[in-house]
Amino acid sequence: MTIADLRRHNLILFEAISGSRAYGTNLPHSDTDLKGVFILPEDQFFGLDYIPQIANETNDEVFYELRRFVELLLKNNPTVLELLGTPADCVIYKHPLFEQFKAADFLSKLCRQSFAEYAVAQIRKARGLNKKINQPEPPARKSVLDFCYITAGAGAQPATEWLARHGYEAAQCGLANVPHLTDLYALFIDATLGRTLGYRGLVRDAETSQDVLLSAVPKGEKPVAYLSFNRNGYSTYCRVFREYWEWVEKRNAERYQNTVQHGKNYDAKNMLHVFRLLQMAEEIANYRQLNVHRPNREFLLQIRRGEFEYEALVADAEQLVTRVEAAFANSTLPDAPDRAAAELLLRQVRQAFYASI
């Protein structure tokens, strides 16, 4: 089933322009996103193939089946709640039955989590982006040896430096476990002509190895030093390296260029939504109002244009988080929407819709 099928068979209860055009933060080149609610045909609803939502290929047109819509309302999902606060000039179609769904009937203290905690997650995401931009990972991946240190007197030196200083090659080295000590190895050097001791070196392959390499050491050989492998540091580095280059591969080129061009090194669109969500959450807690169209368009667009410094913007967002937390702590909103009332409304609307066709 497609969105075109929903329209063809008159299954749509509600359709509206969403996103930046509904918030009032759109620019001339902004996409037009559509969101809506539909009802499955009666025979399909009672069959085995329930369809919770339908979207187009680019996911900028999304329609929720009535049951899924109510489920998300009960969770105070921002994307779905915002449909009930859609500005009149963004509503494309509203079935008379949909008039029974009112935002005020679903607003609750769950909005603290769904709006504010999502915004906090976006702040963390902005911090991560800031770090990726300012601390890019070189394309050449570090090896296990870069996380190995060899004892030198009372201290230690990076393994490659220690080898160079003593004129040794990694291939003439042998490692053996030190009992009871994790990631510490006795280091042996084969100084014989032809390297007859048969040591295997420090790693199997410098570029691909994930661990140090152990050797069989003849009895009586004495270690010249000890090698420590910072395994946790190497594991963390590998994760950061992988995440960075996955981000480079998948990042939205247009948004990244905008981030680079304004020079503040944060995702401006991301930070715009942080403030939008937090301000909406504060209004919900204080006034029980869902204001989708934002009254401070210019301020939000200033954020998008990168007119604020990153650290100052994050500090302001964190202060707003504190205000939101206090507002919900003192709010008279119910802890959660009335599930029984929502289920009754769901049944009534579905039954009325099926009876009308």
Is residue 263 pLDDT above 50, yes or no?
A: no
Residue 78, CA distances (Å) to 18, 26, 72, 337 in order: 12, 19, 9, 14
Alpha-carbon distance of 209 to 213, in angstroms, equals: 9
Residue ranges and CATH numbers for the domains of the chain are 1-106+337-357 (3.30.460), 108-136+252-334 (no CATH), 144-236 (no CATH)
Integer CA distances (angstroms), 209 to 93, 246, 318, in order:
60, 21, 43
> ∠ CA 200-206-210 to the nearest 5 degrees?
90
Distance between CA atoms of residues 174 and 162, nearest Å = 15
* pLDDT 10s digits, 84-134: 999 999 999 999 999 999 999 999 999 999 998 888 887 776 655 555 565
Contact at 8 Å (CB) between 269 and 304? Answer: yes
Digit-coded pLDDT (tens) for 53-66: 999 998 999 999 99
**Span 203-213, average pLDDT:** 87
Name which residue leads in pLDDT, 109 or 193: 109
What's the pLDDT score for residue 260? 47
- Span 149-162, average pLDDT: 95
pLDDT at 135 over 80: no
Specify the DSSP class assigned to residue 142. Answer: P
Question: In angstroms, how far is CA 263 from the centroid of its own chain?
Answer: 23
**32-41 tens-digit pLDDT:** 999 999 999 9
